[in-house]
């Protein structure tokens, strides 16, 4: 199925033939985001280059009852950009201009197609940077960060995307252009900006983002704690926070991921360690060394065999490269892997990780872990064979059980990857019917016909993303 001739003709009039595609290669390429387990080809793909073009296309879709899905770089991990119901994919990469760096107000105005890291590179000469730093920041776009309310390693101290966005311009599902927020906090009226950030592309298509920029810290220290057991590393995390220290980042990598990272980039991590902690402090020069020494003492009290301090910027960059490229490094030990994104209280890290490893073992999987330990945001990685149907079935089961373990521990379904398509069927385990009805009613205010990104966040059996039973549990049909 591709565009109807009359629809394709109108789209070509608006955009030009170059920017309207429904050939088999394009449809195959856009059938999934980084979550590859629920592929579904779109009706077609369009590439608007201006707000006026986007508005015209959205009005055309609205008039003809055609569903559509905004897409950034496709790095999402919950299926948020997968085109259910044969939706049209609205690819936003042409909105890639940094319009302004306002040094006095510490803001940047950027298009949603601007790559996350590009904002920091543009602001750096002015002593500023954009804080949200997902592991995919070299590829992911600001618009996608807004949709998913993305985080990253430095979330612990600085917060997630919503804490660093001051204003948005977006096109509603009927083609109306609206502006939310501005260049300062505290715009009068309801906090619609906070509502839209993290709505996973179901409220509108963002065309412009006003980002809050932050001064580059006067000094940063990056430390590597090496541990003989995961439990000791986990206790260290809780003890650091308990002692009143809030690092800028506090990340954990287990033995399996260390092995993969060393094969991939040779970061110098000890292959016989069971876990390492990456601990980063950012602050004024005065006092930061004292804080680092306190952290060394806490690590040693929890049986750390070594605590390294990056000697220079090159070593610091290498440590962070190992963390940021850990997901990709797993390809050195497995052709495919599935990652989850649950959140638990920090104090329950040791027992929850033990349960997760046992869960994987029951299904014959060796679960790896690399995650934001400071705020309890887990990212279990499950290597599997995507060509083995039994492996594919079992990896779904392990993913579901991992999330249920997180919920049982008092946690949540997602820290930064979103609900999307992947976790929609589990929302009823977290929210009661009244809560879900209220959330759906709020979405309906913006998206009354459910044409924009249908089938996401909440299960919608009436559309193509039907429900099915997987070993007695509700799942999403492909």
The predicted-structure confidence for 72-108, as pLDDT tens digits, reads as follows 999 999 999 999 889 999 999 999 999 999 999 999 9
Mean pLDDT value of segment 32-45: 91
| Cα separation, 87 vs 65, whole angstroms | 10
pLDDT at 465 over 70: no
Tens digit of each residue's pLDDT (9 = 90 or more) over 123-140:
999 999 999 999 999 999
Predicted confidence at residue 437, as pLDDT, reads 96
Predicted confidence at residue 478, as pLDDT, reads 27
Tens digit of each residue's pLDDT (9 = 90 or more) over 201-213:
999 999 999 999 9
- The DSSP symbol for 273 reads -
Two tokens, residue 310: 């990056």
Torsion of CA 108, 110, 112, 116, to 10 degrees: -60
- Structural domains of the chain ordered from first start: 5-91 (3.30.43.10), 98-215 (3.30.465.10), 219-328 (3.30.70.2190), 334-408 (3.30.70.2740), 424-476 (no CATH)
Mean pLDDT value of segment 403-423: 96
The per-residue DSSP string of 216-245 comes to PPSEEEEEEEEES-HHHHHHHHHHHHHTT-
H/E stretch holding 120: helix 116-123
- Report residue 335's pLDDT band, with 50, 70 and 90 as the boundaries: confident
Tell me which long-range contacts 347-354 makes (C-beta under 8 A, separation of at least 24): 347/238, 348/376, 348/409, 348/410, 348/411, 349/234, 349/237, 349/238, 349/373, 349/376, 350/230, 350/231, 350/234, 350/235, 351/409, 352/378, 352/405, 352/406, 352/409, 353/230, 353/234, 353/378
pLDDT at 469 over 50: no
Contact 237, 374 (CB under 8 A): yes
Two tokens, residue 444: 């309906």
Predicted confidence at residue 477, as pLDDT, reads 31
**How high is the mean pLDDT of the chain?**
93
């Amino acid at each position: 199925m591709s565009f109807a001739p009359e629809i394709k003709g109108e789209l070509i009039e608006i955009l030009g033939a170059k920017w309207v595609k429904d050939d088999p290669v394009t449809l195959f390429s856009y059938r999934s985001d980084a979550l590859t387990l629920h592929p579904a080809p779109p009706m077609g793909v369009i590439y608007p280059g201006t707000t006026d073009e986007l508005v015209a296309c959205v009005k055309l879709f609205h008039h003809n009852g055609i569903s559509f899905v905004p897409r950034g770089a496709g790095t999402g991990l919950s299926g948020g950009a997968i085109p259910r119901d044969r939706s049209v994919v609205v690819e936003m990469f042409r909105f890639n201009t940094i319009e302004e760096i306002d040094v006095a107000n510490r803001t940047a105005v950027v298009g949603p197609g601007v790559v996350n890291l590009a904002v920091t590179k543009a602001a750096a000469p002015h002593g500023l940077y954009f804080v949200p730093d997902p592991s995919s920041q070299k590829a992911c776009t600001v618009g996608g960060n807004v949709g998913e309310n993305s985080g990253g390693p430095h979330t612990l101290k600085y917060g997630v995307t919503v804490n660093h966005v001051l204003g948005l311009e977006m096109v509603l599902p009927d083609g109306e252009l609206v502006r939310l927020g501005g260049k300062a906090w505290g715009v009068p009226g309801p906090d619609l900006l906070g509502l839209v950030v993290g709505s996973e592309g179901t409220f509108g298509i963002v065309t412009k983002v006003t980002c809050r920029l932050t001064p580059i810290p006067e000094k940063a220290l990056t430390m590597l704690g090496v541990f003989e057991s995961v439990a000791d590393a986990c206790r260290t995390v809780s003890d650091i926070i308990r002692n009143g220290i809030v690092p800028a980042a506090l990340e954990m990598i287990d033995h399996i991921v260390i092995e993969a990272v060393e094969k991939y980039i040779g970061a110098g991590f000890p292959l016989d360690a069971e876990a390492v902690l990456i601990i980063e402090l950012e602050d004024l020069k005065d006092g930061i060394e004292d804080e680092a020494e306190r952290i060394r003492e806490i690590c040693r009290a929890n049986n750390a065999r070594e605590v390294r301090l990056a000697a220079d910027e090159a070593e610091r960059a290498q440590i962070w490269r190992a963390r940021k490229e850990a997901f990709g490094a797993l390809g050195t030990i497995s052709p495919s892997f599935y990652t989850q994104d649950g959140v638990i209280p920090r104090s329950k890290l040791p027992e929850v990780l033990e349960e997760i490893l046992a869960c994987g073992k029951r299904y014959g999987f060796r679960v790896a872990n690399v995650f934001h330990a400071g705020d309890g945001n887990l990212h279990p990685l499950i290597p599997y064979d995507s060509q083995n149907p039994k492996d594919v079935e079992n990896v779904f089961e392990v993913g579901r059980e991992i999330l249920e373990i997180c919920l049982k521990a008092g946690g949540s379904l997602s820290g930064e990857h979103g609900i999307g398509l992947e976790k929609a069927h589990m929302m009823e385990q977290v929210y009661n019917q009244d809560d879900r009805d209220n959330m759906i009613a709020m979405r309906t205010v913006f998206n009354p016909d459910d044409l924009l990104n249908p089938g996401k966040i909440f299960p919608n059996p009436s559309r193509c993303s039907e429900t099915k039973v997987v070993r007695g549990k509700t799942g999403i049909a492909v």
